[in-house]
Amino acid sequence: MIGKVRMAIAGGIVLCMIPVALFSQSITVPTSTKNTRFYSDIFNIKRPGLSINGFDSGVDNSHGYGLKLILTLKGVDSEMDNEFQQIASTADKSIINPSTPPSGQFGLTVVNNNSNILQCRAFMALAKYILYKNGQTSASDYGTAIGSLRSAFLNNPYYFFLVDGRITSDAVKSTRSIGDYARAVDLYLVLENAYRFYGFDQHDQADSLEYINSNSSTLLTKTQKETVLSDLMGVMYEVQLNLLFHDSISGHLFEPGNRPLKQFVSIGYAALGMQHFFYVHDDTTFFYTTAACNTLLQNAFRGAGL
């Protein structure tokens, strides 16, 4: 018997045939739960869910495959191994300041490359942590991966979004990087869940302390996590403004078609990665609740014609 699986990381889709016998050789992964470290998930979705099909997709991989199967096949299936190595290679690339791009590159190209690197670093940090907990890689290898992810998240948000506080001029150009950033957040939240699983269920004291510590040395601190969520919500807010107001006319009515559709979808997609937290815009504080993000998601579906 064989199964077909897919993964959406680094902008690619991989199809491979899986002998069922490999399932008996797979590694142990955490259970899927909501993330509640400092903040709580707004939507009850399976994480990771924006790039791969949870920790464990089981034997039905028609909707994509989970991390368990990815890591089981790595090094066994040539297509999977090549994809994994491609993601690892992208994660190792340098994030570039878009205000001083290399010769021949435009700001948009740099921003999209940066956001792709970010999501690849998030995937590698999660994958290497699970491999480490299964005795298949070293603590230093994982430490390097989570360190590079932390440093990437702490960059100025304009490294990942083509914004300067006035995205309303051409918001559609940020839709690709919004998706990349949302996937990186989703994967990072799952990494926090993995710390909780190994620390609480298997009594790993070090992981327990990292999970609950608001001044963590490995995971994002409470302030840093809030900044990451705020950066994502900030760009979603600006894109929404572009849709609702365009020369005093609703943007999606002023210019119907592909551009507003892409913007609506990017907002709805990113909303799935959000958590409850306070967001400040122009000295006004918003608390993003389930109802608020539900509205974003519903508007996205309607805007996309769903």
Rounded Cα gap, residues 287 and 300, in angstroms: 20
Identify whether 12 is part of a domain: no
Residue 168 confidence (pLDDT): 44
Residue 195 confidence (pLDDT): 92
Q: How far is CA 13 from CA 7, 10, 32, 80, in A?
A: 6, 9, 23, 11
Residue 119 confidence (pLDDT): 95
Identify whether 246 is part of a domain: yes
Rounded Cα gap, residues 148 and 134, in angstroms: 21
Rounded Cα gap, residues 8 and 182, in angstroms: 13
Q: How far is CA 260 from CA 243, 252, 257, 268, in A?
A: 7, 5, 6, 12
Residue 56 confidence (pLDDT): 85
Give the count of domains, the chain. Answer: 1
- Is 171 in contact with 239 (CB distance < 8 Å)? yes
Domain span including residue 107 = 20-303
| Selection from 90, 63, 79 nearest residue 145 by Cα | 90
Rounded Cα gap, residues 109 and 152, in angstroms: 17
- Residue 83 is inside which H or E element, if any? helix 78-91
Identify whether 183 is part of a domain: yes
Rounded Cα gap, residues 95 and 91, in angstroms: 9
Identify whether 253 is part of a domain: yes
Residue 2 confidence (pLDDT): 29
Beta-carbon contacts of residue 51 (< 8 Å; ≥ 6 apart): 7, 8, 9, 119, 123, 183, 186, 187
Rounded Cα gap, residues 121 and 141, in angstroms: 13
Identify whether 294 is part of a domain: yes
Q: How far is CA 166 from CA 10, 211, 238, 242, 306, in A?
A: 28, 36, 7, 10, 29
Rounded Cα gap, residues 150 and 145, in angstroms: 9
Residues of the chain with pLDDT under 50: 1-6, 10-24, 164-168, 247-249, 251-252, 280-287
Identify whether 205 is part of a domain: yes
Q: 16-33: buried (b, 16+ CB within 10 Å) or exposed (e) per residue?
A: bebeeeeeeeebebbebe
| Selection from 63, 112, 52, 49 nearest residue 272 by Cα | 49
Identify whether 45 is part of a domain: yes
- Residue 285 is inside which H or E element, if any? strand 284-287
Identify whether 9 is part of a domain: no
